[in-house]
Structure 1
Amino acid sequence: MPSLRKWLLSGLLVLAPLIITLWVLEWVVSTLDLTLFILPNGWHPDKLFGVHIPGLGVVFALLVVLTIGAFASNFIGNRLVNWWHALLHRIPVVRSIYSGVKQVSDTLFSEKGNAFRKALLVEWPHEGMWTIAFLTGAPSGDLLSQLKAQPGATGEGDEFLSVFVPTTPNPTGGYFVLVRRSSCQELSMSVDEALTYIVSMGVIVPSFPKKSPVKALADVASASPN
């Protein structure tokens, strides 16, 4: 019985990641294949070739994205995209959703975007409890002035950071928190290693270097205007 249980667990450890990976890939391919339905009925690959070819939707979606990107990169396309953005911002309900989604997408997909800059250890949600968070920036303007005016703040010398605290095992959800820089500790693990650690619920522990690199958080906090 101990041997059977060991073999069963070993088999699950081998098959489970493979099955889940194949399931996710199958879902992505089948979802992108739906983009073929925007083609005219006579141009549909199933009718042209007489057989369904999985994965053509992925190629078609990639071509559509590349075409739109090439069009938006030239002068005329850029003007039309700006006109489209301005039009959507004039629609009452749509502008609230669209502007928020666009800001997030610009942060995640822009060449200058840097959504998660560093992995941090923060004391949250209360004293004595710690969790992993990701540095996203620093507050500025009126928000920073209000934070420095809160009870317990030391005044102009206080520095604050904007951090994202992900949930486990699904890191796509979480909490946006403003914390003091002095209450954060930068981790030597990379952002990818920290995400793996969170998704695995602490099972997969990153391998740390013998000498942790010393990085300052002051560059982010000091970059924000008072």
Structure 2
Amino acid sequence: MSEKPDQNQNDEQPTNQVTAGRRLTNYFLTGLVIAAPVGLTLYITWSIIRFVDDFVKPLIPPQYNPDNYLPIDIPGFGLVIAAVSLILLGFLTANLVGRTLVQFGESILHRMPFVSVLYRGLKQIFETVVSQSHSNFKQVGLIEYPRQGLWALVFISTDAKGEVAERVAGDDITSVFLPTTPNPTSGFLLFLPRSEVHILDMSVEDGAKLVISAGLVSPNHQKKTAELAAEANIKSSKS
């Protein structure tokens, strides 16, 4: 007589296969989380270096370009030359003679119809990006937007000034930047009373991470949760 296969053994095989599949999936996702940021960072960095080298190296005189007399190309040499050139340019324009030359060049550009608009726009953008003044974002907050009951994360810039402060009813009007997800470089400029802004403890960097990750990454919250858990463990051990 043929023996019937044990039903328990048949049930254990699919379970073991599912468990092994889940483990492989978890291992793959864990490896992806570790490798993807590192790989993308290296790729973007290398792309920037190559882009600057391809632009700067042709401008270097042949006798000063090491690629002409070395058996291998030196990556990053153009980037170093560009950085040194910008430092020298900043040093030269910091004195009276340099400022005079810059003002003379700008006066010529301002007289050109299309070029003047392009130059002013680009200059304003770069001055805003590299500026280290008090107008930079220093706080993160929450406001009810686009209606009551819905909360949006904003970066607080400065108090409203000039005509905006004069025409908007109420006191202590502040300007905030409402970023979009997952690209925080675009968004909306809003003016509202400071009393309607709920200031958060997180830094601007953590706020940007929260926006870019669409709410999946909240470092400060995780840190505080870990601290609360540690305090609860200490209290439970003492009791």
The two structures have a TM-score, normalised by structure 1, of 0.79
Q: Which runs of 5+ in 1 are unaligned?
A: 149-156, 211-226
Tell me the residue number matched to 2:148. Answer: 127
User: Aligned residues: percent identity?
Assistant: 32
8 Å contact 2:206–2:219 — kept in the other structure? yes
Decide which moves more: 175-184 or 73-82: 175-184
1:107 maps to 2:128: yes
Tell me the residue number matched to 2:67. Answer: 46
CA positional deviation for 1:36: 1.6
8 Å contact 1:119–1:132 — kept in the other structure? yes
1:159 maps to 2:209: no
Decide which moves more: 83-92 or 114-123: 83-92
**Structure 2 CA distance, aligned partners of 1:187 and 1:137?**
16
8 Å contact 1:116–1:135 — kept in the other structure? yes
Tell me the residue number matched to 2:40. Answer: 20
CA positional deviation for 1:25: 0.9
**Structure 1 CA distance, aligned partners of 2:75 and 2:91?**
26
CA positional deviation for 1:103: 2.7
**Structure 2 CA distance, aligned partners of 1:96 and 1:147?**
30
CA offset digits 1:81-129 (Å, max 9, x no partner): 2222333233332333322332332233234354212212122233322
**Structure 1 CA distance, aligned partners of 2:158 and 2:186?**
18
Q: Provide the aligned length of Structure 1 versus Structure 2.
A: 202
CA offset digits 1:2-28 (Å, max 9, x no partner): 221121111111211111111111111
In the alignment, residue 176 of structure 2 is paired with which amino acid? Answer: V
Tell me the residue number matched to 1:69. Answer: 90
CA offset digits 1:192-217 (Å, max 9, x no partner): 1111221222111122586xxxxxxx
Tell me the residue number matched to 1:220. Answer: none
The two structures have a TM-score, normalised by structure 2, of 0.75
Higher helix share: 2
- Over 3 Å counting, the alpha-carbon distance change for 1:138 and 1:114 in structure 2 is closer
8 Å contact 1:107–1:114 — kept in the other structure? no
Q: For 2:156, what is the secondary structure of its paired residue?
A: strand
**Higher relative contact order by CA 8 Å / sep ≥ 6: 1 or 2?**
1
In the alignment, residue 22 of structure 1 is paired with which amino acid? Answer: L
In the alignment, residue 10 of structure 1 is paired with which amino acid? Answer: T
Match of 2:116 among 75, 95, 108: 95
